[in-house]
Structure formats: C-alpha cells, structure tokens
A = this chain, B = another copy of it.
Amino acid sequence: MNSPRRDPLQALHPLDLQQRVPFNPQARVCMDCGVRRFALFGVLDAEELQHIHYHIADITLEPGQPLYMASDHGTAAYTVREGVVRLERSSERGERRIVRLAGRSSLVGLEAMLGQTYAADAVACTTVRACRLPRMLVDELAREQPGLLRDLMKRWQGALDEADEWLTELSAGSARWRMLRLLLKLTEYDEPDGRIWLPTRQEMGAMLGMTIETASRLVSALKREGVIDTPDVRHARIDMPALLEAIRLEAAG
C-alpha cells in the first residue's frame, strides 16, 4: 500500500521511469516530501498522487504568525513539515490557553474537513513550514481511496489522546510536576541535533496554567539542578536520565 522504492541519487526521477502516467508537478513535490510517509498522504501511492488537481501551497511562518484563526471559516487542513505550532483558545475569563502542540508530520485544522470553523487559533512557535491541503482535495482523494478516511479518523483519535494527556499530566499536579512533564513532552518535538525547542515563559504559562514568574523560577531551578541546559535562549538540551528521575521523585513526594 505504500510508496515504491526510490533512489534519490538517480538522475532521472523514478516517477518518470517507472510509471506511464502524465507528469504532475504537485505529485512530484509530494513524492519528494520528507514527511510524506508519516503525513496524511502516506497512504497514497505514486499513482494516486497523480490525481491531485489542486494546488498544495507551501507555507512558511515566523514565530508568532498565525496559520489560521478560530473565527476563520476553514477551507483547508495543514500538514506541519517543520517547526512547532501551538493551538490556543481564549477562555471566557479572557485568558489565553494553549491546548495542544503540533510538530513535524502533524495534521492540524482537521475540523475544516467537516465544513466547520476552526476550533482554535494555530500560531507558529518556531519557524514553521506547512502544506495547505484544501478541503476539496482531501474530499476528492478520499472518494478514490477510502483508506484516507481511516487515516483521518486515526488522526482525530490521536488529537483526542493528546488532549486527554494534557488534561491528566499537564493540567494537574504541582507546578513542578507539570513543568517536568512539559519538558518530557517537548522531547517529542526534538531537532536532529538533540536540542529541543524551549518555549517562552509566557507560552509555558499558557500551557501549564501558571504565571510566567512561576515558570521562570522552575526553569531556573532545573538549570541549577542540571536537568536542562540552555545553549541559547530558545533551545535546551535535556539530561534525560535526570529528567526521568526528577519526575519519579515528584510523583512519589
């Protein structure tokens, strides 16, 4: 069900050699995409990708720029190819709360596939590269390849699991516990060199339901304890055994 073997060193693109289908520039771009295997179109093979008749915009965002806003009438979902996106809502108290993060190969804005408005604001935390998948495109591909629907449902369930985890591990317990769990979660979005993105104190506060002062104190303490090290202000290196031990202690204490 997955893509045919590929050889990046080959001079001619395998699509042209192995398949007698008209050349489709969008399909080639998707075939070459580093996250395709883990992204929504991972279930589609080269032939099926040829059927893409819509433009898939490649979007780049700088930190703080929105991918979409909750009020928008959604017409597309987005696959995150690089960087971290935060999904945030404002509570009726007027506070902003980050309810989830999305990293490499995550699909956000699924609700647009149902013709609904977005359920949250999606804002870039780091430099973000994303693909815009118009609803019409997904509908069309889903008709031809029902496996895509199953994948979509799995992603919904994945988002739900994520939300439940935030409720149980990131929204309850002592401030220190929540911070430790956040650092553990951030390792899921680590970069090739092993460093992780370190959110602003504001963002940490919005994720963990604490003030920026408390977040700052906790980060400082963990630096002193050697659990994390911050080569630069927006990145950290984690001493994983120390982090796990700290979590274990916090759960016991």
- A97-145 interface (Cβ within 8 A of B): 97, 99-100, 110-111, 113-114, 116, 119-120
CB distance from A68 to the nearest CB of B (A): 15
B150 close to A153 (CB less than 8 A): no
Q: How far is the CA of A250 from the CA of B94 in the complex (A)?
A: 12
B95 close to A164 (CB less than 8 A): no
- Across the interface, which residues of B come within 8 angstroms of A247, CB to CB? 92
Q: How far is the CA of A94 from the CA of B100 in the complex (A)?
A: 23
- Picked from B120, B160, B172, the residue with its CB within 8 Å of the CB of A156 is B160
A114/B173 contact (C-beta < 8 A), A89-B164, A164-B99 known = no
Chain B: CB-nearest residue to A111: B157
- Across the interface, which residues of B come within 8 angstroms of A250, CB to CB? 93
- Across the interface, which residues of B come within 8 angstroms of A149, CB to CB? 149, 153
Interface residue A199 (Cβ < 8 Å from any Cβ of B): no
**Most-contacted residue by chain B among A114, A149, A160 (CB, 10 A):** A160
Interface residue A167 (Cβ < 8 Å from any Cβ of B): yes
CB distance from A160 to the nearest CB of B (A): 6
User: What range describes how many residues of A lie at the interface?
Assistant: 35 or more
B164 close to A119 (CB less than 8 A): yes
CB distance from A149 to the nearest CB of B (A): 6
A167 close to B172 (CB less than 8 A): no
Q: How far is the CA of A93 from the CA of B99 in the complex (A)?
A: 21
A167/B163 contact (C-beta < 8 A), A110-B157, A111-B157, A251-B92 known = yes
26 intermolecular pairs with C-beta atoms under 8 Å apart:
A89-B164, A92-B169, A92-B247, A93-B250, A94-B251, A95-B172, A97-B168, A97-B172, A99-B163, A111-B157, A111-B160, A114-B154, A116-B157, A119-B160, A120-B164, A149-B149, A149-B153, A153-B156, A156-B156, A156-B157, A159-B160, A160-B163, A163-B163, A166-B167, A167-B167, A171-B209
Interfacial residues, chain A to chain B (CB-CB below 8 A): 89-95, 97, 99-100, 110-111, 113-114, 116, 119-120, 149-150, 152-154, 156-157, 159-161, 163-164, 166-169, 171-173, 177, 209, 247, 250-251
